[in-house]
Amino acid sequence: MIPHSHIAARTLAVVAALWLGGCSFFSFLPFVDEPKDKDEEGEATPLVDFEPEAVIDRHWRTKVGRGLGRKSLRLTPTVIADRVFAADGYGRVVALDRFSGRNIWSVSVGKPDGIPFYQFWDRRDPSFVTGGVGAGEGTILIGTMRGEVIALDAADGSELWRQQMSSEVLSPPVGADGVVMTQMSDGRLVALEADDGSTRWAFDNQVPLLTLRGTATPVLGGGLVFAGFGDGSVKAVETQTGEPIWEHRVMLPEGRTELDRLVDVDGTPLLVAERGALFAVSYQGRLKALRVQDGILLWEMPASSFLDLAAGYGQLYFVSDDDVVTAVQQSSATVAWTQEALKYRKLTSPTAFGNYVLVGDDEGYLHVLAQSDGRLVARRKLGSGLRTRMVEADNIVYVLDNNGTLEALEIKRRG
Nearest to 190 by CA among 213, 222, 167, 214: 167
Residue 221 is given by DSSP the state E
CA angle at 183 for the pair 292 and 180, rounded to the nearest 5° = 80
pLDDT at 113: 62
pLDDT at 137: 87
pLDDT at 112: 81
Report the alpha-carbon distance of residue 62 to residue 219 in Å, rounded: 30
Ramachandran bin of 395, using left for φ above 0, alpha for ψ from -120 to 50, beta for the remaining angles: left
pLDDT at 305: 96
pLDDT at 21: 32
Q: Tell me the CA distances in angstroms from 15 to 11, 226, 284, 350, one per residue in order.
A: 12, 28, 20, 28
Which residues are CB-neighbours of 312 under 8 A, at least 6 positions away?
352, 353, 357, 371
Report the alpha-carbon distance of residue 110 to residue 90 in Å, rounded: 8
H or E element, residue 92:
strand 92-97
| Residues 304, 326 contacting (CB under 8 angstroms) | no
Query: Beta-carbon neighbour count of residue 365 at 10 Å?
Result: 19
Nearest to 213 by CA among 246, 257, 254, 168: 168
Nearest to 160 by CA among 200, 225, 81, 107: 107
| Residues 359, 319 contacting (CB under 8 angstroms) | yes
| Residues 288, 300 contacting (CB under 8 angstroms) | yes
Report the alpha-carbon distance of residue 151 to residue 128 in Å, rounded: 16
SS3 at position 266: coil
Report, as ranges of residue numbers, the positions in the chain whose pLDDT lies below 50.
Answer: 1-30, 36-41, 115, 118-122
| Residues 67, 396 contacting (CB under 8 angstroms) | no
Q: How far apart are the first and last CA of the chain?
A: 44
Report the alpha-carbon distance of residue 346 to residue 321 in Å, rounded: 9
pTM more than 0.95: no
Q: Give the pLDDT confidence of 150-169 residue by residue, as tens digits.
A: 999 999 999 999 999 999 99
